[in-house]
Chains A and B, each alone.
Chain A
Amino acid sequence: MERILFYIFAVLIVIFAVASVSSRKILRAVIYLLIVLTAVSGLYFLIDYNFLAAIQLTVYGGGVIVLIIFSVLLVHHVELELEITPLKTKIIAAALVVAGLSITLWAILTYPFNTANNYKSIEVDVIGEKLLSYGEGGFILPFEVISVLLFAIMVGAIVIAKGKKLGIKTGEKLE
């Protein structure tokens, strides 16, 4: 059962990722990206990491996709079709990607991984305790760094999207 589900998610991810990077209608490409992100959260559910699956659905499916759709609607006409990429660029990019993919797959498939057998699912309370513990193996420092980063991003996004030079008394706007 889980095997079948995994292959369904894998096929969904690959097909809609290709559609998302090759579709010429930009709004459709965003919706294909949403399907890919949802299928990835399905993968997290299969691994029994429910917390990250919920985070993926809320942050990506709820936040990032809405942001991208808003920016598409603000910047583009809805029916606008993207320019066709030159065939030469496509061929060169595809050749590079296939070469990189084959090297990576060769490296992965020839490496003998020692799979552990004592599997346990990842619970939310363990994650929470680890994130806030400052003892051995705790993650309080990256947690704090991320919080400072989110604050800086918030201020930066507001200042940049406002589009006005701050700190200049004359109040002149950028042309």
Chain B
Amino acid sequence: MIEGISIYEILTLTSILFFIGVYGFFTRENLITILMSIELILNAAAVNFVIINTYLFPDFLQGAIFSIFIIALAAAETALAIAIIINLYKLVTSVEVRDTETMKH
């Protein structure tokens, strides 16, 4: 718990962070920047897990532990996505969303 800060202020901050990530996901047209927007979204979710754990249920540790799992999943997903992006760049020499249609044929 942060001294003098209520749960509403932190949840407002994480909602804003989440929707900034959603905005980036909508407007970006490059695979790497879309991946960065997903990182923002996952971070907002992880902060929410910890906040709700410490403010509402301090006797349990579910949120605190699952935020560790979220970070592990995000790192794994980034590694795999970047492997796919680099492989795709070898195939079509572009990482723009509209050029990546090799799986469609």
Contact = CB atoms under 8 A, between A and B. Distances in A.
Size category of the binding interface on chain A: 35 or more
A170 interface: no
Interface string A6-29: 100010011001101110001001
Interface residues of B, number: 74
Contacts of B6: 115
Interface string B18-40: 11111110111110110111011
Nearest to A159: B83
Interface in A120-141: 120, 122, 126-127, 130-131, 137, 139
A150 B47 CA distance: 22
Given A14-B16, A20-B24, A55-B71, A33 B61 contact: no
Interface of B is mostly: helix
29 contacts: A10-B9, A13-B13, A17-B20, A17-B21, A21-B40, A22-B27, A30-B36, A60-B71, A64-B78, A68-B36, A74-B86, A75-B85, A82-B28, A90-B27, A93-B23, A101-B19, A105-B15, A113-B8, A113-B55, A119-B54, A120-B58, A122-B61, A142-B69, A153-B76, A157-B83, A160-B84, A161-B83, A163-B87, A163-B90
